[in-house]
Every structure is written in C-alpha cells, then in structure tokens.
Amino acid sequence: MKILITGGAGFIGNAIINELSKDKCNEIVVLDALTEQIHGKKPEESYLYKGIADKCHFIRGDIRDYQLVEQVVKDCNYIIHLAAETGTGQSMYQINQYNEVNIMGTSNLFQAISATGMKLEKFILASSRSVYGEGKYECPVHKTVYPEARKVEDMKTGDFTMHCPICNERLQTAPTDEASKVIPNSLYAFTKYAQEKMVETMCKAMQIEYTIFRFQNVYGIGQSLKNPYTGILSIFSTLLLDNKKVNVFEDGAESRDFINVEDVASAVIKSLGEKETNGEIINLGSGVGTSVMEIAETLKLLYGSESEICITGDFRVGDIAHNIADTKKAEKLLGFRPTISLEDGLQQFTAWVKDQEPDNSGYEASLKEMELAGMYVRGGVIR
C-alpha cells in the first residue's frame, strides 16, 4: 500500500516510518519542509532526516504549496497527516503562521484529494490533547466540571491551582475522556480542533474513512533537541548537560501525561487497518500524570548533572495545569496499552541524548520573544 506521511521527517513521523518500513510491501512517501526550528541549519544532517532518508520517497516541500500537495497525494491509499506547527506559547503571537500551516495545510490536502478524484482508503490525523484546554476535573461539591483557563491575575500571585468555576473550591484532576468538553486555551489548540472538524466534515462528504488521535505529551528517542518551543524533556536535557540552572515554571506541581513515541507509532500504524477505529477520536497517552518537578529531578539524576533546579513562579499564558488521558477507548478499539514505562523511556532517552549535540542557544531567545508578546510572565510569587 502507498502511504503519504506529511511532516514525516519529524519526531513522530520518524518512529512511524521506521516501523512501517519493516514491511517491504509498504510504499512510503514523505512530504516535509525540514524547518530550521526542528532540524537546524543543516537539515539533511539532522538525526531525524537521516533516520528516514533511505526508508521512503522523500519530497522536501511545504504543506501550504497547493500545486506540490496535488502532485504528492496522487495514487496514495492512506494519508497520515502529521505536518503542523506545534508550539503552544509560540502560537499566541505567530498567529498567521499557525493558521496557514495547520488549517490551510490541511485544507490543501482535501482540495487535492477532491481535484485529483483519488480514492483514499483512510485519513489519519495527529491532533492534540490541547483541544480539551484544562480538561476534566472533580469538584467536592459540583462533581464533574470543565474549568476555563486559569486567570493571569491569579497566577501572578502564585495561585496555580485549579478552582471550581461555580463555587471556587479546589479541584481534583480527573482522567479526560474523548467525550469531555473541548475548550481550546491557545491558538495552537484552536487550529488542531479546526483540523479535527475539517477531517470529520470532509471525510464524511468524500466517503473516506478516518481516525483522529489526540496525543498527550509524546517523548522519546529522536525528539528534537533544537526546538526551544516544545518538549520540556529536550529543553531540560540541554540545560542539565551544560550544568546550567533549570527554570521550572509555576510551582513545579503542574503535571503531564507522557507517552513514548514508539507506543504512539504502533497505535497509529495499527489503526490503518483496524475498522473499529473508523470515524473515531481516540486519546493516546499513558493515563498517568507526572509533575514537571519530578521530570526535572529524574533527568538530573540520570545525567549526573550539577545543575540547580529552581522553581521560579514564571509561567506561560495558555499553559494548562494538569492533564491525564482516559485511555479506555484506545484499549477497547486498538487493544492499546503502553509498553514502555516512563522510567524505562527516560533511561533510553537520556542515553540517546548523551550521544547527540544538544543546542540550547535558542531557549532564552524564545522566552524573551514570548515575554515581548505578553505570553510569558517572569517572577511570579511562590506560595
């Protein structure tokens, strides 16, 4: 079968291609712009590009280039759409860039499918848990609630907790399932939800099967060490290896659901031929929340770093407090269960990072960029 993977030279695409290429019957076509933010100034020498170059027919190009997209989609049986801008904070000031790549890029795919009259068997979309906003919580009084984003004024005073929107009681994090309310807190999240609705609408109209995955925090070998806007594991790693101070935002208690990229790749590939996933939105995560402070301390130990880990009270506007995926649907439809624990995954990741050339030169610049745009606030109060 012929599979087009947009953004295939990225972190997740790399893992998918390495697995798909084991079956010699698969013809893999990759469309990727090899952006400097991910691949550096010499993208052809990047770990991610070199990892797939001999495993696919690679086309360097932009998903916004409609004429190119029309040529690339011809004769494909499946499309795995990964191409996207992904920085939550960055999206709040590079508004046109995120809309053009994420929304118009997806639009180009469907326009090309329509124009060529191709009969696509299935369309897979990589979406994000960010569409839920803060997600699902439990209030001791009002039970299940879906709070809006935290107020900047509260966060400046050091209040990083979640409160009930009805009675202001402190909330308890709950696993967020696919039926939860969609409340995007960032432009990035908005564009991912727009992608989802476009896929649902156009695939039904064109009689194309589809599956939408909402990824949690994907990590693992191959994660870009050059992109200062995404991936706390990469950002922390570059600082820890240089024995530089690590800035842990907020109060350090904010948590994330980390899922290894190999488990994500396996689930995506299985969905290509799994009819039970047709027309479904599926969370992919571990179902376990881990605090950012715990991640920083674990990485420091694994690297043997002398870095000072500082909880600063700094915060980014639009960041969520916690997220834990409800993964029952993935288990039911795909038999999905993570095979790589966070402990094992971090050991593999750090061992790989030690052999790479991390680049943290853009990290402080990215913070200043966000600060100038009003999306990053320094020096909040720690309670």
Of 327, 176, 159, 177, nearest in space to 254 by CA? 159
The mean pLDDT of 351-359, rounded to a whole number, is 87
| Lowest mean per-residue pLDDT among 20-29, 94-103, 198-207, 366-375 | 366-375
DSSP string, 113-145: HHHHT---SEEEEEEEGGGGTT--EEETTTEEE
Q: Using one digit for the tens of pLDDT, what is the confidence trace for 53-88?
A: 999 999 999 999 999 999 999 999 999 999 999 988
pLDDT of residue 50: 96
- The CATH number of 2-377 is 3.40.50.720
Of 310, 305, 167, 281, nearest in space to 213 by CA? 281
Annotated catalytic residue 210: no
Q: What is the pTM of this model?
A: 0.96
How many angstroms separate the Cα of 110 from the Cα of each of 6, 117, 273, 278? 13, 11, 21, 18
Residue with tokens 């999905």: 336
Q: Using one digit for the tens of pLDDT, what is the confidence trace for 193-239?
A: 999 999 999 999 999 999 999 999 999 999 988 887 778 999 999 99
Q: Which two tokens stand for residue 231?
A: 């991936």
Distance CA 117, CA 156 (A): 54
pLDDT, averaged across the chain? 95
Evaluate if residue 382 carries a pLDDT over 60. Answer: no
pLDDT of residue 364: 83
Residue 252 confidence class, pLDDT cut points 50, 70, 90: very high
Q: Give residue 64's Cα distance to chain centre.
A: 20
Of 241, 262, 193, nearest in space to 15 by CA? 262
Evaluate if residue 380 carries a pLDDT over 70. Answer: no
Q: Using one digit for the tens of pLDDT, what is the confidence trace for 273-286?
A: 999 999 999 999 99
Residue 278 backbone class (left: φ over 0; alpha: ψ -120 to 50; beta: rest): beta
Distance CA 57, CA 69 (A): 14
Name the active-site residue from 47, 49, 98, 188: 188
Residue with tokens 């696993």: 175
Q: Using one digit for the tens of pLDDT, what is the confidence trace for 108-120?
A: 999 999 999 989 9
Residue 162 confidence class, pLDDT cut points 50, 70, 90: very high
Question: Helices 342-353 and 292-303, interaxial angle, to 10°?
Answer: 50
Mapped onto helix, strand or coil, the DSSP state of residue 362 is coil
